[in-house]
């Protein structure tokens, strides 16, 4: 799958700048859409007008904004595998992913900008229809950029070290992009002080941020030549077939279930944070910027410890710990206000401290986990189906589906492409040990065991199974027979069987 070059540190950060760009746009929508179109009383008193009908306007059950965003997520989930399949089958000379990212960047940013530019200056159903159209375009072009982008993460990661470097860098730029979006109240407050009215100041702020995000999304497009690092043939599989094959992997199904839970939680948290500040803590809306920037800075401090602790404890245990911390943080917000004995501002600071480690773990490890699952699945089945879910764009429909045939795997002779029962048995044995230890921590070691059949196979933790030795006595005898028979003997091309003793 990987090309002839290995991604340098500079190229890793060029790639991560693209994550900064799209995370700014995603954070503007996830953090400020509800606050803008369905403001609470405190926000209205600050000068925010009403643009769409409020309350349960649809069949007495749903708000307009709730119905639009819910439909948008369903639309997003439907388009994910379709875009993924088109990307997998792309035969462009520039690769399978970069062309989609290049086309999507501009309309992605423009749809984000126009989401906040309602055509009618007042409460109107026309604004609701315009908002529906802009959000559908936003989710479509977000999928067109993020699905190929996320698929590049395991494709560019030639080994475990590179994948962790990519995951760490994009986690940092993702949080930085969200922090920039949370600076919006400070910026539009300065513009209001300069004489602009509130709505105009907000629109100018969001427009400027969206243009910065668009410029950043072009950085990986123009600095990384995909085919220098990725050599994979276009897939011939349909979207449904590739999706069905992907969901046969039990580890991936478990990951998706946990990822959906995280996605729902973090979306509610991001959307509610401005309301926590203004409605529960009774503070100025600018404090939401202070809290989020503080939370971001604290989470960055945990990056190095997390990278040190991951080899020791494994990704799964750390992610479970992050879920527990995140749950406690969410429960803590229910006590905001008069229920706690200390000042409102201090309550917010405590939330930042408690939530920071979970944010750091969720920012780094899920990307690496799904890449590991993909690699292990490729070794076990002989097919490479990488399903990569980005932090703001994770859906069970599968972001970044990649599927190619066993014969497309470079680096292995034809007679060693998973066709020997002994080789498959060796793979399964190594994979079983890694499953026992947690998620597949380093698929490269499984591949190394496959390539060097007949030698000692070492799991990620040598002491876990006493070394896991594979003896190849019959294989050694077979090689002697083939050497004696000569290169033209009909049994010459068959691989020696592998015997694994646990």
Give per-residue pLDDT as tens, 155-196.
887 677 777 788 888 888 988 898 889 889 889 989 999 999
Provide the percentage of residues in the chain whose pLDDT is more than 90: 22
165 CB-near residues (< 8 Å, 6+ apart): 9, 12
Alpha carbons 443 and 431: distance in angstroms, whole number: 8
* Inside any domain, residue 3: no
In the numeric block, which tokens belong to residue 16?
């991560």
Give per-residue pLDDT as tens, 324-370.
998 898 889 888 888 888 899 999 999 989 988 888 888 778 877 77
Are 371 and 456 contained in the same domain? no
What pLDDT was estimated at residue 458?
38
What pLDDT was estimated at residue 428?
53
Give per-residue pLDDT as tens, 234-249.
566 666 666 676 677 7
Are 221 and 350 contained in the same domain? yes
What pLDDT was estimated at residue 194?
92
Are 58 and 152 contained in the same domain? yes
Are 282 and 372 contained in the same domain? yes
pTM over 0.85: no
Alpha carbons 188 and 246: distance in angstroms, whole number: 45
Alpha carbons 207 and 214: distance in angstroms, whole number: 11
- Domain residue limits at 449: 411-500
CA atoms within 13 A of residue 90's CA, in its CB half-sphere: 25
Are 368 and 429 contained in the same domain? no
Are 354 and 433 contained in the same domain? no
pLDDT bracket for residue 486 (50, 70, 90): low
* Inside any domain, residue 214: yes
Alpha carbons 138 and 110: distance in angstroms, whole number: 8
Is the confidence at residue 494, as pLDDT, over 50?
A: no
CA-nearest of 274, 223, 245 to 16 is: 223
Selected residue with higher pLDDT from 416 and 256: 256
Q: How many angstroms separate the Cα of 468 from the Cα of each of 71, 225, 423, 457?
A: 51, 40, 15, 6
Alpha carbons 78 and 100: distance in angstroms, whole number: 17
* Pairing state between β 403-404 and 470-471: unpaired
Are 75 and 159 contained in the same domain? yes
Alpha carbons 396 and 401: distance in angstroms, whole number: 11
What pLDDT was estimated at residue 400?
33
Cα distance between the two ends of the chain: 30
Residue 110 and residue 103 in contact, taking contact as beta carbons nearer than 8 Å: no
| Backbone φ, ψ for residue 159 (5° rounding) | -150, 175
User: Helices (DSSP H) in 314-460: which residue ranges?
Assistant: 315-333, 344-381, 421-437, 443-451
Counting the structural domains of the chain, the total is 2
Are 373 and 435 contained in the same domain? no
* Inside any domain, residue 389: no
CATH number at residue 344: 1.20.1250.20
**Residue 388: left (phi > 0), alpha (psi -120 to 50), or beta?**
beta
CA-nearest of 47, 52, 77 to 65 is: 52
Are 352 and 430 contained in the same domain? no
* Inside any domain, residue 397: no
The dihedral through the CA atoms of 268, 388, 355, 205 has a sign that is negative
Alpha carbons 111 and 143: distance in angstroms, whole number: 13
| Residue ranges with strand state E in 380-434 | 384-385, 403-404
pLDDT bracket for residue 454 (50, 70, 90): very low
């Amino acid at each position: 799958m990987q090309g002839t070059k290995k991604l340098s540190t500079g190229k890793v950060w060029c790639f991560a700048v693209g994550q900064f760009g799209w995370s700014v746009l995603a954070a503007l929508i996830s953090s400020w859409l509800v606050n803008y179109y369905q403001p609470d009383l405190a926000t209205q008193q600050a000068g925010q007008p009403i643009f769409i009908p409020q309350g349960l306007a649809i069949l007495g059950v749903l708000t307009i904004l709730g119905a639009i965003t819910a439909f948008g997520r369903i639309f997003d989930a439907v388009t994910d595998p379709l875009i993924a399949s088109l990307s997998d089958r792309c035969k462009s000379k520039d690769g399978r992913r970069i062309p989609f990212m290049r086309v999507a960047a501009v309309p992605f940013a423009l749809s984000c900008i126009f989401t906040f530019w309602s055509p009618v200056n007042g409460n109107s159903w026309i604004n609701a229809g315009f908002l529906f159209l802009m959000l559908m375009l936003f989710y479509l072009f977000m999928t067109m950029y993020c699905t190929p982008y996320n698929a590049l993460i395991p494709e560019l990661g030639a080994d475990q070290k590179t994948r962790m470097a990519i995951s760490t860098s994009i986690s940092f730029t993702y949080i930085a992009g969200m922090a920039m979006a949370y600076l919006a109240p400070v910026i539009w407050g300065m513009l209001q002080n300069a004489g602009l009215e509130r709505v105009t100041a907000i629109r100018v702020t969001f427009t400027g941020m969206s243009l910065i995000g668009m410029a950043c999304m072009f950085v990986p497009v123009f600095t990384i030549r995909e085919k220098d690092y990725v050599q994979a043939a276009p897939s011939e599989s349909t979207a449904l077939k590739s999706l069905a094959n992907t969901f046969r992997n039990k580890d991936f199904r478990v990951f998706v279930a946990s990822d959906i839970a995280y996605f729902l939680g973090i979306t509610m948290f991001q959307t509610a944070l401005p309301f926590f500040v203004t409605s529960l803590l009774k503070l100025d809306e600018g404090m939401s910027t202070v809290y989020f920037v503080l939370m971001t800075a604290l989470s960055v401090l945990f990056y190095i410890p997390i990278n040190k602790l991951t080899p020791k404890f494994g990704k799964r245990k750390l992610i479970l710990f992050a879920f527990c911390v995140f749950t406690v943080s969410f429960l803590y917000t229910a006590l905001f206000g008069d229920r706690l004995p200390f000042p409102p501002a201090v309550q917010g600071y405590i939330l930042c401290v408690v939530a920071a480690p979970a944010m750091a773990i969720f920012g780094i490890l899920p990307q690496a986990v799904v890449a590991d699952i993909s690699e292990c699945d490729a070794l076990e089945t002989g097919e490479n189906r990488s399903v990569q879910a980005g932090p703001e764009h994770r859906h069970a429909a599968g972001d970044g589906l990649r599927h190619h045939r066993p014969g497309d795997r470079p680096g292995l002779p034809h007679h060693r492409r998973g066709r020997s029962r002994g080789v498959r048995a060796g793979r399964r044995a190594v994979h079983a040990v890694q499953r026992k230890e947690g998620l597949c921590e380093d698929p490269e070691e499984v591949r190394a065991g496959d390539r060097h059949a007949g030698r000692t196979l070492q799991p990620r933790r040598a002491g876990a199974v006493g070394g896991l030795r594979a003896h190849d006595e019959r294989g050694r005898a077979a090689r002697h027979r083939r050497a004696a028979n000569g290169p033209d003997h009909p049994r010459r091309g068959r691989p020696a069987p592998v015997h694994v003793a646990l």
